[in-house]
Structure 1
Amino acid sequence: MDELWLLLMALPLFVVVGACFGIRAWVVTRHLRDHITQLQERVQELEQREAPRTTDVATARPPENLTAPPPRPEAEPAPPPTRQESATPTEATQHAAADAAWGVEPAPAAEQPPTISISPPITAEAPRFFDRLAANLRANWMIWLGGICVGLAGVFMVHYSIEQGLLGPEARVILSLIAGVVLHGAAEWLRRSRGQHDVFAALAGGASIILYAALFAAFKLLNDISPGLIFTGMALVSFATQALALRHGPVLAALGMLGGYLVPILVNTGSGQIELALIYIGILTLFSLWLLAYVERRWLWLGVIAGSLGWWLLSLGSHPADGVRSLYLLALTYLFLAVPGYDWLLQRRDEPASHWLQLLKQVRSTRYWPVLPTLVLIVLAQGITLATETVSRSSYPTLLLLPALLLLAASRRPILNPLPVLLLLATALAVVMPMLSYLGDQLLFTAPDAATQAALVSRFVMLTILYTAGSAWLLQRRVEYPGFWVGLGCFTPLLMLALGYYLFTAFTADWAWGGAALILGLIYLTLSKMALERPTSDLVRVLLISSAHLGLSLAAVIWLVDATLTLAFAVQLITLSLLQRHYQLRLLPWVIRLLLAVVICRLTFNPWLLTYDSGTHWSLWTYGGSTLCAFAGAWILRHDHKLTAWLQGAAAHLLVLTLAAEVRYWLYDGDIFRHEYSFLEASLNTLIWGSAGCVYLWRARLSQYLQRFYQVIATLHLLAAAGNHLLLVVLWYNPLWHSTEISPTPLWNLLLISYGLPSLLMLILWRLLPGRIGRYSAMAAGLNWLLFISLEIRHLWQGKLSLSYPTPDGELYTYSAVWLLMASGALLGGNWLQKASLYRGGLALLLVVVAKLFLIDMSDLTGLWRVASFMGLGLALLALAWLHQRLTPKSSVPPDASGVDAD
């Protein structure tokens, strides 16, 4: 019975062989047709050149405007060797075969004399990658499809035999291996006898896919054979496929790579042993990268990256042994670092550069530039792996080997410096992420148990030793970019200490954690003092100073209450300013700016301020103390105008916050953050946002680099203040029609805060805002001041502001008298200051006063009261006219009837 099944399984092999002969006949026909076409074109070209050549011989005159090239000096140095010249004979042969198969023209020989071209060279833009790919698919889609079909036929044959239980395991694997070898032999024979062609490459690619499928299926079918032997066979198939790709061309490379990465998916044995698949993928990646060392193709890089990391992604859906994913990523990291440049001991070094960004530009111009983004993806994958498997359960090799490898590689190739830092941050996130969870829309943090905390302690210690000791050892060997290694070695212990303080509830002694942070800060402070006294780079000094201050800040976090923490940060502005004034370090001002941003953001946007105890007067020392520290820093650095502007702007912003906090403190009996939004709240917000807008406008005038930024921030604050004041204070909560409680005290009441102080802010904006916007602000200030005075008059007469109460005659006369005084002041001030807008505003108010007197105030007066009223109004107007003439400069010629200039 087995013989019958053997005969049935051999039928597809005969079909494949027949297909090969059919393809061969088609290729021969096409090859002959191409030769005929080329010969016809050559004959036509020779006929066209015959006539001009005959004319040239008859005239025996050389073409004009042609000069012979200057003779080459004998002492001229020889040109640099080409790739074939510099390689060994074996490598040169391989490179030449690869160039011929992949369509690369060989370099011209050194002895070939230069040719003279009469016509100018024709340059054409090289087609883009996707355009070339689309053109290749349109031209050779039958070839690609045929090779894939041949490979899938073998894959499905193996898969079907596994499902149906046909034949014995040995017979299935042997038949598949025979089919793959026969197809490879046919493809090679056709290439040798008929020349290189994509059809033969596709046939060889299908054969490699069949061999991959057979060997991978052997893991399930042939339990008696050692896995090492099967992996050796896979390695030989991979090596042979990539080596033959140098001769057959890119079609075999693409099909071999595609089949190699997809075969484990298509031939699913159901064993669930993802470890074997990852080992196999690692072998395939090794030989794919080896091929990239000979032939540079972008799509090959993309295939290797997608295939290798794609299998890591697939492994997340399975449950391999602990540490398998991390070891796989470690192997990938080494392969991408070592194989493309044959740098097996990772001895290759980057070319020296003045700064790190120049190194990045140099890497972009090399053929191995995809290695750097691939390593970034591997580091992120390792972070996800650690978060999935949890750091506490990871073994020391899986946790420490990859950062050790990256530290070693970065010490010799500084372009890789960000990778150890990125891995350290990814590891820290991997520690925290499993402890976060969502309950509805709230983010909850669950502290680890005692066993997990004990495991994390040892791992934190090992990571700290690795990064700190590694950085110190490299600094001892005088590695490039010492500032980077100083920062890495100093900040790693602080990061691990901060993580431990917030995660380890089993160790709750604050004095111990704070003492450790204080000791670190003092150690870094001592090192920074030594660095300041010795010749070293500014970056190293600034990093040591920053580390010392960060350690002291961490001690303040642990020992002090939350409200005092910001003050601890702000005090460092004084110490950093003193250091900057004494040593004039180039990078320390950026640390001061960063610390300023931390203090301002903490006091402006910190949500935990709402939870602070209202029983203590924390706002005074937190807001006020931070303001004094910023002003002190500005005074210390008063000779550094650029940095002083930053400190002054921050101090002004903090002063506004301090005043607002203190006003709320005294109004609400210590409850600064009241949850209701009342008339008083709206009035205070108008003052706070308007003052902040004025501060940022003033800061924009002092800034040389961030003017646009400060203008945008000021605009946002001013729009918020204007909308809040107009919609809420003036319209919605207006005490004339809203039940708003106002103190019975005349003048010194809530109206002063709600309407009087905003008028002063508008006058300040009149001087800060440009042109027409400033004039609009002055007009708004005048209207708001008129509203404030009117409300104060009604409050003075009535004690309340509601419109439901009748208005007595005395109140009406008071309005008229005060408005007349305001109009007179505006007219005289506009005339004296030569401000047409102020003059017109006073004139408009005067007309309103006159109309009110005639229509309202004097409508009910008779007899002598009417005479006295008109007499008083007339005398007032005459006195105003006399003062107008006396105050008008005689030498000036008024441009309009008002006698004032338009502003």
Structure 2
Amino acid sequence: MFFDSFGLLGTLGLVALVVIVIRLNTRLRLVERELGALRSRVLSMPPAAATTAAAEEQAPAAAIERTGEPIVDSAVSEAAEEAAGEPAGPAGPWGTREGRDAASVEPAPAPTARPAAARADIETALGTRWAVWVGGIALALGGVFLIRYSIEAGIFGPGVRLTMAALLGLALVGAGEFIRRTGFEIPLNGGNNAYIPGILTAAGAFTLFGAVYAAHGVYGFIGPAFAFVLMGIIGVGAIAAALLHGQALAGFGLLGSLVTPLLVASEAPNAWALFGYLAIVLVATAAIARLRDWRLLAGAAFAGTGLWCLVYMAGSGTVDFTVVLFINLVILLSLAFIWLGGRAGGEEAPVAFDWPTAIPALSVALAALSLLINPDYQAAGGALYGAVLIAAMVAIALYRPGAPALLHAAGVASVAAYARAALSGSFAFDFAGGSLVVEGFPAAPFPASMPYIGAVLGALFLATGLWSARNLAASAPIRGAHWAAWAAATPLAILAAVWIISGNPDRDYGLAAVALLLGAILAAGGEAIARAENPPLTGALSVSFALAGAGVAFVLMLHMAFGPGLTTVLVGAAAALPALATRQRGYPVLGWLCVGAAIVVIMRIAVDPTIVGQEFLGRTPVFNALLPGYGIPALAFGFAAWQLARTTAGRPRLVMEAAAALFSLLTVAMLVRHAMHGGVIDSGAPTLAEQAIYTLLALGAGAILIALDMRSPSPVLRYGSIAAGCVSAILIVANHFFVLNPLFTDESTGRIPFFNLLLLAYLLPAIAAGALALYARGKRPRWYSAMLALVGATLAFAYATLSVRRLFKGEFIGFWSGLGQLETYSYSALWLAMGVGLLIAGVWQKSYILRIASGVLIAIAVAKVFLFDMSELEGVLRALSFIGLGAVLIGIGLFYQRLLTRAAQTDEPAKAQ
């Protein structure tokens, strides 16, 4: 398949190709100067003459599109040459004298505009484009069929047939060149895509490919080395001829060049010969694509070469890392110095993203990633070559602004390589009391060199990223942000992976010092970038990435040095530091760093609500690890919200206010649960006493949030207070009345007559809900106060009713113990008395809700008397029940009559006035 003498032939071919490219580039510059002179002449003409001149310019431009030969006015050419400091000479390298004289004497008339439908009629399509393309395909197939016929008929021997096929291919190539030079093409409308010389040349190259392959693969007339050379020359020649005949021919030549190694087999493959040949093909194709700005051709060349490299790495038993390094460096250098290099005439390539750069970035990144993560490659030292490729990608991205894809591909490959190592193996998690096993990647060894390689790569990204971000802060902040992001992400990912794989998971002071140093460098780098901004100290995206990376590094440092328990407390306390920094700098990211600290603390307590683990928590009420674990973050979040409200404000302040309120509630709730369950946090469902404390906390939180909102208005405080009240109402309805009601659970209510569970679970929440409803009047929506008032009244009703039952039944009041007649009568009397009490309170407080509640309660008492007492009570109790009901109802009627009469007497003087 490959040969040893390829180096000499390849070098000679490359030299010849460079000479051809230089000559063609010189001619192309001459054409550009002449077209520039024409354009200047047209722009300087009056509007009436500009139309005629534009028509003159279109004709030579169309000819150049078809043939690559300029046909220009001699006067314009002379003017252009004089302007460039060159003596006047022929108009172009291939222009005819007659054409130049005709152009100088009389300009061609402007063509008459025709409708689009007329220009694109079916006759033009069939007579120009389709006829020419089908004819070219027919010529190529004709050569194949001629060889086949001669084989079947036995007219000629194999050598004669192959000679005839080669002569036919050369004749087609010569015919294409003859037509191009003599100018026999007809410039019909719609025929620009039917360039006859290019199609003839492609057909000839196809025929020559077939002849050489048959001579080697079918008949064995020539060896693999000679066949490889011939097919390579044909492919590279077709690519070079594309400068004259168009991109389609270049694509055909590239395809043939890339397929040649598959068609030519060898018993002793030579990787250097293969990739040396591919390097020549890539350099030639990239140079031609750059001259013509053929993006599709450039992308195909990079893709084909990169695919050959990946196939070689996947299919070869022993990979030569120097060969892999060589071809990938050729890809990168071709991208940097040819495709992204200066255009013809010295014009620089555009800075905007160029999609062909993504193809070599992907292929080189995949090769580097394979060298870094493959255990066999690691054992043979391939990881070092992968690191060199990543460093080369970063260097070229630094050198060429138009190659951001190289930076992103290098960063992704570095992070993925170390993440793959960190996530290898299996991981077991406790889930719902069981064991949930998550299978990761197959476990892979972590060579001793990988931490050192990671340190070098991390330092490379850190230094180049911060340096580039600072230099681009004023001129190109978005590009600078790309560099700043990878300057933070790559070293952090490598450091975390090394800690997970080879560090001490409990305490690792060495890596903690590295994390501290990294955070300090990123913080200093962010400040340097901010000072270089225009205007300075704005805190744009680059600064945000650098400071965010510093924050993550400090969190890693705390976890490495102090363990999970103290990390929760210290990260929570550290949330106040970015807020304090807003006194000196107004960077928007500082507030979000406070939010990030809150998120980290929430994630930590979600993993371990006990902060330090259940076995180390202890049973001491209040003064245990829960108090600092939840209390210190709550205080720090509250301080951060207070500080942000006075500096940057914005959404981070609102988030920190919500976090402070949440952790304040969690602090008290967790301490209560710890005390109620003897130091055990996850002991199962809460009791009614514990739930009553949670309800009181939620009601108290609602009142505190209202008070804070009145002093410092905030949407978080406003909606948080409403949410606290609604959550309280839901908890009361669900747990106090149904799920945990001792009437249904038969839970012990305590042995003390008054200070018992009913006081804690019903009377105190009723007072708290009523007080909150009263405090919220005029400060929150009317429905909110009405809801709380109704909940408070219902709790008071439940407390009174259950207290009566406890009076009769004792400590346990389950409903299945039945009802006595005196107990039944007591409920009727109690409900009537409560209804009257609510009526008085409603009139006193001028509360319509309380008056309606009294009416509902009295209606319930009336229904009970008529529907239940009449059948269940006997003797004097039944009579007393009805007598008491009638007296109360009459008293209520008299009360309302007097109330309405007084209201009418008050309104009459007002109307008279």
Residue number in structure 2 paired with 1:514 = 512
Is 1:184 the counterpart of 2:173? The answer is yes
Of 659-668 and 214-223, the range deviating more from structure 2:
214-223
Flag the 1:538–1:571 CA change in 2: closer, same or farther, 3 A.
Answer: farther
1:565 pairs with one of 567, 574, 581:
567
Q: What does residue range 116-515 of structure 1 map to in structure 2 within 5 Å?
A: 181=170, 183-185=172-174, 187-188=176-177, 195=185, 197=194, 201=198, 204-205=201-202, 207-209=204-206, 236-249=233-246, 251-262=248-259, 264=261, 280-295=277-292, 300=297, 303-304=300-301, 307-308=304-305, 310-311=307-308, 314-315=311-312, 317-319=314-316, 320-322=319-321, 325=324, 328-343=327-342, 363=352, 369-371=354-356, 373-374=358-359, 377-378=362-363, 381-382=366-367, 384-386=369-371, 388-389=373-374, 392-393=378-379, 394-395=381-382, 398-414=385-401, 416=403, 419-420=406-407, 423-434=410-421, 436-438=424-426, 441-443=437-439, 452-471=446-465, 481=477, 493-505=491-503, 510-515=508-513
- Paired with 1:627 and 1:647, the residues of 2 have a C-alpha distance of 10
In structure 2, the residue matched to 1:672 is 681
Structure 1 residue 491, shift from structure 2 partner: 6.3
Deviation at residue 309 of structure 1 after TM alignment: 5.1
- Deviation at residue 629 of structure 1 after TM alignment: 0.9
Deviation at 1:592, TM superposition (A): 2.6
d(CA) in 2 for partners of 1:104 and 1:687?
89
Tell me the distance in 1 between the aligned counterparts of 2:211 and 2:697. Answer: 74
Please name the residue that 1:623 is paired with.
630
Query: Which of 844, 850, 853 is equivalent to 2:862?
Result: 850
What percent identity do the matched residue pairs reach? Answer: 20
Q: How does 1:89-108 map to 2 (within 5 A)?
A: 99-100=65-66
Alignment match of 2:642 (pick from 635, 643, 646): 635
CA apart distance, 1:851: 0.9
The offset of 1:648, in angstroms, is 1.0
Give the SS at the match of 2:425: strand
Secondary structure, counterpart of 1:637 in structure 2:
helix
745, 757, 765: which one aligns with 1:749: 757
Tell me, in whole angstroms, the C-alpha distance in 2 between the residues paired with 1:407 and 1:562: 36
Amino acid at match of 2:173: H
Letter aligned with residue 580 of structure 1: T
Report how far residue 852 of structure 1 moved.
Answer: 0.7
Aligned to 1:50: none
Count of matched residue positions in the alignment of Structure 1 and Structure 2: 773
For 2:828, the equivalent position in structure 1 comes to 816
Extract unaligned runs of 5+ from structure 2: 1-41, 77-103, 152-156, 186-192, 428-435, 619-623, 907-913
Structure 1 669/415 Cα, relative in aligned 2: closer, same or farther at 3 Å? farther
1:663 correspondence with 2:675:
no
Q: Tell me how far apart the structure 2 counterparts of residues 186 and 681 of structure 1 sit (CA, whole Å).
A: 101
In structure 2, relative to structure 1, the CA distance for the partners of 1:178 and 1:610 (3 Å cut) is: farther
Q: Structure 2: which amino acid aligns with 1:589?
A: G
SS at match of 2:815: coil
How far apart in 1 are the matches of 2:846 and 2:147? Answer: 95
Could you give the per-residue CA deviations for residues 476-528 of structure 1, whole angstroms, max 9, x where no partner exists?
Answer: 97886567666755665554433322222599972333334345555666778
Residues 790, 490 of structure 1: alpha-carbon distance in 2 compared, 3 angstrom cutoff: same
| In structure 1, C-alpha distance between the alignment counterparts of 2:70 and 2:691, rounded to whole Å | 77
Structure 2 partner of 1:13: none
Aligned CA-pair RMSD: 6.5
CA offsets, 1:314-344, max 9 Å, x none? 4564234336556544443443444334449
Task: Report the TM-score when normalising by structure 2.
Answer: 0.64
- What does residue 884 of structure 2 align with? 872
> Can you list the C-alpha shifts for 1:287-327, whole angstroms capped at 9, x where unaligned?
44444435566765665565455545545642343365565
Say which SS state the counterpart of residue 671 (structure 1) adopts: coil
Contact 1:386 1:427 in 2 (8 A): no
* Cα distance between partner residues in 2 of 1:139 and 1:778: 90
- Once the two structures are TM-superposed, the CA of residue 601 in structure 1 deviates from its matched residue by 3.6
1:854-883 CA-to-partner distances (Å, cap 9, x unmatched) read 332354556654554444334433454566
Aligned-residue offset at 1:580: 0.8
Note the C-alpha offset of 1:463.
Answer: 1.6
Structure 1 counterpart SS, 2:655: helix
Partner letter of residue 565 of structure 2? A
**Bigger mean CA offset, 598-607 vs 739-748:** 739-748
How far apart, CA to CA, are the structure 2 residues paired with 1:813 and 1:115? 117
3-state SS of 1:454 partner: coil
Query: What is residue 433 of structure 2 aligned with on the other side?
Result: none
Residue type matched to 1:843 in 2?
A: G
Change (3 A) 1:172 1:678: farther
On the 8 A contact 1:241/1:252 being kept in 2, the answer is: yes
Contact 2:742/2:813 (CA < 8 Å) preserved in 1? yes
CA contact (8 A) 1:828 1:884 kept: no
* Aligned-partner residue type, residue 502 of structure 1: I
Q: What residue identity is the alignment partner of 2:439?
A: L
Whole-angstrom CA distance in 1 between matches of 2:321 and 2:609? 41
State how far apart, in whole Å, the 2-side matches of 1:783 and 1:467 are. 66
Distance in 2, Cα, partners of 1:873 & 1:880 = 11
SS of the residue aligned with 1:583? Answer: coil
Question: 2:815 aligns to what?
Answer: 803
Larger mean CA deviation between 178-187 and 548-557 belongs to 178-187
Please tell me whether the aligned partners of residues 295 and 356 of structure 2 are also in contact (alpha carbons under 8 angstroms).
no
Q: Name the CA shift for 1:887/1:608 in 2 (closer, same or farther; >3 Å).
A: same
Q: Secondary structure in 2 aligned to 1:560?
A: helix
TM value normalised by structure 1:
0.65
CA contact (8 A) 2:576 2:636 kept: yes
1:1-20 equivalent positions in 2, closer than 5 A: none
Distance 1:636 1:191, change over 3 A: closer
Q: Gaps (5+ residues) in structure 1?
A: 1-69, 86-91, 128-132, 161-166, 352-358, 895-903
Whether the 8 Å CA contact 1:656–1:688 is kept in 2: the answer is no
Cα distance change, pair 260–335 in 1 and its aligned pair in 2 (3 A): same
Contact kept in structure 2, 1:98 and 1:249, CA below 8 Å: no
Kindly state the Cα deviation for residue 565 of structure 1 after the two structures are TM-superposed.
0.9
Structure 2 contact 766–793 (Cα < 8 Å) conserved: no
Change (3 A) 1:515 1:328: same
Partner Cα separation in structure 2 for residue 754 and residue 281 of structure 1:
85
